[in-house]
Structure 1
Amino acid sequence: MTAQPGSSIADVVGIGFGPSNLALAIALEDIAGTGAGSSEVGMKFYERQPEFGWHRGMLMEDATMQVSFLKDLATMRNPMSRYTFVSYLQEKGRIAEFINSKTLYPLRVEFHDYLEWAAHRFQSNVSYGSEITGIRPVVENGVVEYVDVVGRTSGGPETVVQRTRNVVIGLGLTPRLPEGIEESDRIWHSSRLLHRAGALTQEARSLVVVGSGQSAAEAADYLHRTFPDAVVHTVLSRYGYSVADDSPFVNGIFDPEAVDQFFDAPSEAKQRLLDYHGNTNYSVVDLDLSQDLYRRSYQEKVLGKQRLRMLNTSRVTSVDEHATGVRVVVDSMSSGHPQALDADAVVFATGYRPSDPVPLLQDLLSECKRDEEGRLSVERDYRVTTSDAVRCGIYVHGASTESSHGLSAGLLSNTAVRSGEIADSILKR
């Protein structure tokens, strides 16, 4: 990284280059009418990964998206954008075949290829392999006119990498493991499923999946099909997999208009809505996958060869790795009796937590306002509420704004519109 505190001032710097900030780059290009890399809107993005990637560890060949292809990086904001999924299909020569497939939900690997296709067009605007460590105020005439974005590459020393008028923090999600659990060659978070499962031999005899959501069900399905001689134990605290509520009326909670309604609602109403409709996204499974796993389990019972075994109303109480495997102790919450499982590997599909933008803003926190719960106060346009001493724009988007903007805050469902709102706010200011 080259320090550029004075000679080069960007209009926008994005921290992280996942789907959210990729959609922001597209929105800035679309709205400003510039080409990628144009100097008219000077934008720069910094991404920790060595290349663009989105949940690569869960890109099973037959896994499909859970949202419509129309909720891509641009269509909901601008159907005429050259960055829509349909434009991608046209360029790849597959639009007729996709239409003939009669589906709203493309393969996950295809959608990931679409994201890479869009990201490649902004290659000159992105520094991959870059870890951003802080955002420092630049004071002119008594106000914070700019910020310096500080970071490093390849474990090198910190340096100012870019001065900017606006910074947009889009850090995505961080895998969450139960307290006391650490990853190893035999203990993984589901986000690394494909990366780690490839190291297992086909002689694997016992595998454990912990969790009750979509990732847990997909992990159990994948391991059961990939290792035909292994018993796959699924451990979940519920009686079984709960089905996601994706009914048409309820899905309206992800509509752009719902963000306005949620943002203006009283705090108590916001929490009730989050509680009511958490089953649209959290710890729930697609109906088709749930039914398929049930049929498979029942068929194995009939044939007397049960490899898919559900340990419901149960929880893992200890995990001890040894030279040849992992011993997992599972307590039944209904009977109170523990059961020890000897496994070749354990997969924790225990979800994610929003990445916290606060550590990056340590030098600016005294000027940033908080809500009644102590969280960063964020305006409707995703700009952090600051004192009058801050003139530059500080924006956050992703799941960290769920409490203020609703369930769609960190999801693809509203990415195109959300990023367009941030781009509009930046350009108008």
Structure 2
Amino acid sequence: MTDDRMPAEDAPRGSTRDDIVDIVGVGFGPSNLSLAIALRERNGIPGNAPITAAFVEAKPAFAWHSDMLLPGATMQVSFLKDLVTPRNAASDFSFVAFLHEHGRLHHFINRQTFFPTRIEFHQYLVWAADRVAADVRYGTRATRVIDHADHFEVVLDGARGGSLRARDVVLAGGLTAQLPEGVRPRARQFHNHELRSRLAGLPPLAHDAFVVVGSGQSAAEVALHLHGQYPDARVHAVFGKYGYTPADDSPYANRIFDAEAVDAFHGASSDMKARLMAYHRGTNYSAVDASLIERLYEIEYAERVVGARRLFVHGASALAETRELPDGVSTRIENRLTGETEPVVADAVVYATGFTSMPLGALLGDLYDPDAPGRGPRVERDYRLRLTRPTAGGVYLQGGTEDTHGLTSSLLSNIAVRSAEILESIAGRANVRAHELVRSA
């Protein structure tokens, strides 16, 4: 095992202790945006010692699942679970403040819903990112976190390159699209997170057909969007379940997303954690809003009545074969109950097959041991990752903590409270360091 730590006297030439910020945030999506807002509000309280931060984001500008901002698609989480409200209901960065500033508050109230469209919520996020005016290096990717004697160095790959030095690092790299085993992304076979861009790049349809793989909310939204966007095209939805499963958004089940539930989950036994995850997967995974299921069924049934089918839902099925053609994709859909197959030549195959968490090994090197005991990263209650050796600072995770903190790990539901807890941990440890410096002086 190599040791990348560097003593203070061997710091990079031309650097000073003053260029070390308190926090480097890797990724600037909703999670670290929420952290930046919490940091700004904390620093604005008289008597609080300022905490400095810089962020890096691979995208050229702030964006949140921009290729899935489909017309009519709504959020599955209440607008009250925005970037700030569960932490600070009086914040100027709330969704309500955004509506008020844009003159839409009364209009939104008249809609009588907790669930804005994704397009509007994305507008809110962009507004908040502009308003907080955080130090963000867009178009920059963090490639390595190196442990030095008294700080971390975050090596950057981008137009400006170089590195940032911080006492603590907060990783919020988001999710990585996951394709089925053996599938490579191509111009006509792609993940749904690229939907709008890929559709815009398709030539005129040669076969008037699409195949959508997946059984969750995104898959159902893609099927509905393609059916409406291409009025002459057939849409084949393919998934292993017998039918779409309604999402469990009942009040008691939704308690699993409460901030208070994280404490209990983190302290529970591994067996109980696994049980809870199995019990409540229907709140988030491979589940679809009941209203969307009903909408798709109505379309399919109406087409059966008039005898002009365009929407085909293939339950208990899978893609048995895909073969690229010059102007499309030859597929074979297999019913796993009967063994019957149906050939479909499509203009494109869209895989709405989920995501995986940010990989830690390549970024953290020997600070992280992926083979350590446990199902996922070993993470403390304050979201600090247990590293392979003691370090002066901490590495915190915004996401990828489902095994330790529960279902809220990759969702918007708890980001306001989670950011506050991470910031409180960092501020507390900074106070300890300050007191130690005073004593040593």
**1:388 Cα deviation (Å)?**
7.0
Alignment RMSD, CA only? Answer: 2.1
Q: Is the 8 A contact 1:23 1:73 kept in 2?
A: yes
What are the within-5 Å matches in structure 2 for residues 334-345 of structure 1? 334-345=337-348
Cα distance, 1:337 vs structure 2:
2.2
1:10 aligns with 2:34: no
| Closer, same or farther: CA 209–147 of 1 in aligned 2, 3 Å | same
- Name the aligned partner's letter for residue 337 of structure 2: S
For 1:364-403, list aligned pairs within 5 A.
364-365=367-368, 372-373=373-374, 375-386=376-387, 389-398=390-399, 400-403=400-403
Change (3 A) 1:41 1:194: same
Q: CA deviation at 1:121?
A: 2.4
Residue 79 of structure 1 corresponds to 89
Which letter maps to 1:341? V
User: Which sections of structure 1, spanning at least 5 residues, go unmatched?
Assistant: 140-144
Q: Which runs of 5+ in 2 are unaligned?
A: 1-11, 430-441
Alignment match of 1:168 (pick from 144, 167, 170):
170
Closer/same/farther in 2, CA of residues 170 and 124 from structure 1, 3 Å limit: closer
Of the three residues 32, 35, 53, the one matched with 1:24 is 35
- Counterpart in 1 of 2:185? 183
Are the aligned partners of 1:136 and 1:363 in contact in 2 as well (CA < 8 Å)?
no
Q: Which residue of 2 aligns with 1:420?
A: 420
- Mean Cα displacement is larger for which, 242-251 or 87-96? 87-96
1:100 aligns with one of 101, 110, 122: 110
Give the drift of 1:163: 0.7
Counterpart mapping for 1:22-421 below 5 A: 22-33=33-44, 40-139=50-149, 145-154=150-159, 159=162, 161-200=163-202, 201=204, 205-365=208-368, 372-373=373-374, 375-386=376-387, 389-398=390-399, 400-421=400-421
Shift of 1:62: 1.0
User: Structure 2 CA distance, aligned partners of 1:389 and 1:198?
Assistant: 50
Query: 1:264-302: CA deviations, max 9, x gaps?
Result: 100100011011101100001000000000001000000
TM-score, normalised by the number of residues in structure 2: 0.90
Contact 1:370 1:377 in 2 (8 A): no
Q: Deviations over 1:290-330 (max 9, x none)?
A: 00000010000001111001111111122111101100112
1:54 is displaced (CA, Å) by 0.6
| C-alpha distance after superposition, 1:76-125 (max 9, x if no partner) | 11001111101111111111111111110001100000000011124451
Give the whole-Å Cα distance in 2 for the aligned partners of 1:240 and 1:3: 62
| Distance (Å, rounded) in 2 between the aligned partners of 1:56 and 1:418 | 24
How far apart are residue 34 of structure 1 and its match? 6.3
In structure 2, what is the Cα distance between the partners aligned to 1:234 and 1:183? 19
Which amino acid in the other structure matches residue 417 of structure 1? V
CA separation of 1:389 and 1:205: change in aligned 2, threshold 3 A: closer
CA shift at 1:248, angstroms? 0.3
- In 2: Cα distance, 1:310 partner to 1:270 partner: 34
SS class of match (2:298): helix
Query: What SS is found at the alignment partner of 2:414?
Result: helix
- Whole-angstrom distance in 2 between the partners of 1:63 and 1:169: 29
Quote how far apart the aligned CAs of 1:172 are.
0.8
- Give the whole-Å Cα distance in 1 for the aligned partners of 2:196 and 2:280: 30
TM-score by length of 1: 0.92
Secondary structure of the residue that 1:67 maps to in structure 2? coil
Q: Number of aligned pairs?
A: 415
Whether contact under 8 Å (2:140, 2:157) holds in the other structure is: yes
The residue aligned with 1:142 is none
